[in-house]
Amino acid sequence: MIKSKRPTVARSLVKFSFLALLIATISITLIGFTISRPVSKEVKLIDFEVEGGASVKTIAQNLADAQVIRSAYYFRYLVRQHDLALQAGNYQLDSSDTPLVIAESLTRGLATSIRITIPEGFRSEQIAEVAGLPSKEFLLAVGDLEGSLFPDTYFVEKDFTSEELVTIMHNNFIKKVGQIDRDTLILASLIERETKGDEEKPIVAGILTNRLKEGWPLELDATVQYVLGKPGAWWPNTTLLDRQFKSPYNTYLNLGLPPGPIGNPGLLSIKAAQNPADTPYWFYLHDRSGTIRYAKTNSEHNQNIAKYIR
């Protein structure tokens, strides 16, 4: 008796359909990954105008033509997905930002906007310098908010005031970080200034936590730098003699945390302070190349000093 070939054909069709679906899924995923990426890896500022009454379709196409985004269609999707209301105005956009960041930038509706980028770890005086604001005026506006001015890129109106910038930065901190106790914030500011790479942060957080729990002095150069900093050298190199400078912020002379943050930490430093690594290390230093060297004992630490510093 001749067997029917229909089941074989059916199985072949099922396999073909599955393979086609798999290929289509992979293709869509790759396309989505590509169009959601920034146009440039390097910071590239582009002046861009959104005219009054312009449609999202027109704005999206103009952005694509200006090589600010990869896909006008994807940009329109983001605007709908996040229910964004694009506003007319003159903007300075960065093609190294993601399409979503760019879309959110166009919701500010500034007639003339100024872009200000505040790096992680900057103290308030540095923020004032970057923003072109009088230091005394800005520090007065900051008050006790040092540490909770979120480092980020901001678009502000021309002739903005110190109070306005402080409010924008602090509101952004609340949005990105939420509630945080003061000791954790202080610890995060220390981690920000004491580390050179993101992978170091949880371990350094663990080392500082170990020392705090056991009542050891933190002995951090960054706290001495904070005390000695001045215009033109906000984070100066320190000497052994500088470590004897009397100040409540000097963690060589005082146990525990300093009385306040020594700068404004980024999100990764804050997360490290909230979740320090469980580490056997008690000491660390950065060698001449910037590589961090950990030690479990004072003897090991002294060996690292002799090997990598002297």
Asked if pLDDT for residue 290 goes beyond 80, the answer is: yes
Rounded CA separation 141/127 (Å): 12
Hey, what are 50's tokens? 């959104």
Higher pLDDT, 37 or 141: 141
Question: What residues contact residue 137 under an 8 Å CB cut-off, 6+ apart?
Answer: 128, 162
Q: For the chain, which domains are there?
A: 45-105 (3.30.1490.480), 182-308 (no CATH)
Residue 132 phi, psi (nearest 5): 75, 35
Residues 114-119 have a mean pLDDT of: 88
Please tell me whether residue 112 adopts helix, strand or coil conformation: strand
Q: Render pLDDT for 122-140 as a digit per residue (tens, 0 to 9).
A: 999 999 999 999 999 999 9
pLDDT confidence bin for 94, thresholds 50/70/90: confident
Place of tokens 């329109």: 76
Averaging pLDDT over each range in 52-61, 169-178, 256-265, which range is the top one?
256-265
What are the tens digits of pLDDT across the range 195-225? 999 999 999 999 999 999 999 999 999 999 9
